Structure formats: structure tokens, C-alpha cells
Amino acid sequence: MTTRRHSTPRDPGRREPVAAPPPRAFRHRWMLDWAAPWEYTAHAVRGEVVRVQSEFQEIEIVETEAYGRCLLLDGEVQSFEADEHIYHESLVHPALLLHAAPRDVLVLGGGEGATLREVLRHRSVRRAVMVDLDPHVVAAAREHLPTFHAGSFDDPRTKLRFGDGRAFVETSRERFDVVIIDVTNPMAGGPSCRLFTAEFYERVRDRLNPGGLVALQSDAVTLHGLESAAMIYRTVRSAWPHAASYAVFLPAYTTDWSFTLAGPGSVDAAAVDPTEIDARIAARVSTPLGFYDGIAHRRLFHLPRYVRDAFQKRGPVSRDARPLQEQYPGYTG
């Protein structure tokens, strides 16, 4: 998944990664994934698979006892092998199935290759452009996370590019049917803050073909941490006339994670009948899915009342001059 603490800008340059110490074995190292100053989830780590210091971040892959391999960037948990398919199927398939015939798709971020994997399941897709900041994340995933990318980096439809995702959106003249934004959370001081602003979403809008859709990960929705997701929803609504938020429970994170779907036309995803979703999957998706189907779709788009209420409250949007910045996922206090 890449749940999402760091992200796209800066020029990756030509520098090689700094040599890191050899992998270590643990019995056990406890990996703490903080949700707030007073709350964390702990995972027992069996051993370290690889650790590399790139120009941008420390890249680490570890083997956990309960959830398989896990990618960390600068010590922050990104994706777990056991449940990443829940996240990535939820991020990708609603947008691609609600579009009439997605052929050209842009993926911003998604260094593990799992978002790309899900995009390429769609028979209609003829070109998938993936733009990620750090080539060393992709290199580590290619070698050590084969179940995440499942060969998607080498698919002939894939066009893999490295660099600043925002710069690509602002300078490219290419257009796409669907844009998937799978970047890390807007952590304070991190570069991804610039990929959650109204100005950025306006530029993304310019890259869409008529009738195009955008889907993005939009942060955790915990009982005490709704501020970020609500601000992201308001910010998306400032750029598109129609938007819908949805969420899925991620076992390794012990909480729901939200996504936002938007476009120029009506996005009434909750009204689509489960049998219609199943029919579209059967007709358009080339290999079986592990999580997403018609019933799962219905659950995704029916949020609890306290979440809906938080999203409907008036409040600020994230702008370049004053971007959303988190201390912990979903928590800005």
C-alpha cells in the first residue's frame, strides 16, 4: 500500500545509495506504528531483509511475524504483505470500474508496484504511466517484494518514470482517463504536503480526459483523528464539482483508511448495485481479486455517521501557502 508518510518531490539526481549495514536478525524487535502521541500498534519483527539509505530516505524491508514483509521509509510503516491487497484493490478498482473504458492511467507514487499491479489487471488499459520519486524504493521492491508488484514493472504497458510527481503533472501535456494518487501522508516537513493542496489538484484536473476520474489515498479515519481526512475531502471538493469519500478497514493498521474519488460528473458510487460491480469485474478484470467485489464496494461507500458529519463540517482547505501538515497519520494536533 504505501500508507503514506513521505512522497514525491525533489529531483532524484544520479547519486548512488549510501551503503547500509548488513541485514539484522531479531527475536523480536517490536516495530511501533504511532497513530497519536498516546496510541500505537506494535508488530513483532523476525528479521531485516534489506536496509538502504538513498538520497531521499532510509528504505527498509523487514519480515514481521504476523503480516509478512513490510516496507518502511525513514522508519515509518508503509505496506504489509498480508493485507496490502485490501488497500490497493480499494484504491484502484472503484475508479477504473466507474469509468466507462479506462485506457490511459497515471499513477503518482506507489513505489512498491502494487497500485500498478491492480491497474494492469484491467483489460482496457493500454498505457500505465507511473511516476515515483525514488528509484531505490522501486529497486528494493523489485527484488524483495515480488508479491507486491507481481511483475508489473516489466509489463509492456508500463511507462516507469522517476522524479517529482507534482512537476510531472505541471509540465506534462499528456492526458489520462484515470489518475491514481498513491503518495505518502502530508507529514510536517515532508515533500508530500505539496501533493495534497488545491493548487495541485487543479493541475491534476488539467491532465484528465473528458469524463476522467481521480482517486487518491486520503488518510486514516480514526475516532480521534479525522482532521486530515476531512481537510483532504474539502480540498478535493474545491477542485472538482463531485467527490465521494470511502474507507476500508486494514487489519495491520487496526483502523479504517480513507480514499477520495472525484471527477467532473456525478460520482454516486454508493448507488451502484453490487451485481453491476460484479458484472463489470467479470467483464473487465483479467485475474481474480482477493478483496474487492460488489458487496465490498457497498461497504466501502457507506461510512459511519461520525465520519460523514466530520466531512460535511465547514473548515479550511489545504493550499500551497498553508498546506496540511501532520504529526501522525490523521492527527494534526
CA distances, 44 to each of 28, 47, 59 (Å): 6, 9, 19
Does residue 78 sit in helix, strand or coil? strand
Measured from the Cβ of residue 6, the count of other Cβ atoms closer than 10 Å reads 24
182 is catalytic: yes
Out of 33, 104, 182, 219, the active site residue is 182
Q: What is the distance between the alpha carbons of residues 25 and 133, in angstroms, rounded to a whole number?
A: 29
Check: CB of residue 62 under 8 Å from CB of residue 48: yes
Q: In what order do the strands lie in the sheet with 208-221?
A: 158-162, 127-132, 104-109, 176-182, 208-221, 255-263, 242-250
Q: What is the distance between the alpha carbons of residues 90 and 100, in angstroms, rounded to a whole number?
A: 18
| Cis geometry, peptide bond prior to residue 103 (ω within 30 degrees of 0) | no
Q: What is the distance between the alpha carbons of residues 284 and 11, in angstroms, rounded to a whole number?
A: 37
Q: Which residues contact 70 (CB under 8 A, 6 or more apart)?
A: 31, 43, 61, 62, 63, 64, 77, 78, 79, 80, 81
The region, left, alpha or beta by phi > 0 then psi within -120 to 50, assigned to residue 68 is left
Helix boundaries (H) for 27-171: 84-98, 114-119, 135-144, 146-149, 165-171
C-alpha cell at 84: 496490502
Q: What is the distance between the alpha carbons of residues 12 and 41, in angstroms, rounded to a whole number?
A: 32
Enumerate the active-site residues: 182
